[in-house]
Amino acid sequence: MPPRPLTQLTLALLKPDLTANSLKVSKVLGHIQQNDFNIVAHKKLLWSKNDAEAFYGEHRGKFFFERLCGYMTSGHFHALILEKPNAIPEWRSLIGPTHPPRARINAPDTLRSLYGMTDTRNSFHGSDAVSSAKEEIRFFFPEYDFEKWEQQTEK
Query: Hey, what domains does the chain have and what are their CATH numbers?
Result: 7-154 (3.30.70.141)
Mean pLDDT to the nearest integer, 89-104: 94
* Count of Cβ atoms closer than 10 Å to residue 101 Cβ: 14
pLDDT for position 4 = 63
98 annotated to a ligand binding site: yes
User: Does 64 appear as a known binding residue?
Assistant: yes
pLDDT tens-digit map of 66-94: 999 999 999 999 999 999 999 999 999 99
What pLDDT does residue 112 have? 96
- The count of other CB atoms within 10 Å of the CB of residue 109 is 9
Which pLDDT score, from 0 to 100, does residue 46 have? 98
Q: What is the pTM of this model?
A: 0.93
Which of 6, 27, 30, 25 has its CA nearest to residue 88? Answer: 6
Which secondary-structure segment (H or E) carries 77? strand 77-85
The model's pLDDT over 7-20, given as tens digits with 9 standing for 90+, comes to: 999 999 999 999 99
Determine the pLDDT at residue 154: 74
Mean pLDDT of 21-28: 96
When pLDDT is averaged across residues 34-58 and rounded to a whole number, the result is 96
Is 112 annotated in a binding site? The answer is yes
Tell whether 67 is in a known binding site.
Answer: no
Q: Residue 1: what pLDDT?
A: 57
**pLDDT averaged over the chain?**
93
- Classified as helix, coil or strand, 38 is strand
Residue 142: closest CA among 48, 41, 4:
41
**At 42, is the pLDDT very low, low, confident or very high (cuts 50, 70, 90)?**
very high
Q: Is 31 a catalytic residue?
A: no
- How many residues in total does the chain contain? 155
Q: Could you say which of 76, 78, 99, 125 is catalytic? A: 125
Q: What is the pLDDT of residue 120?
A: 83
In this predicted structure, what is the pLDDT of residue 119? Answer: 83
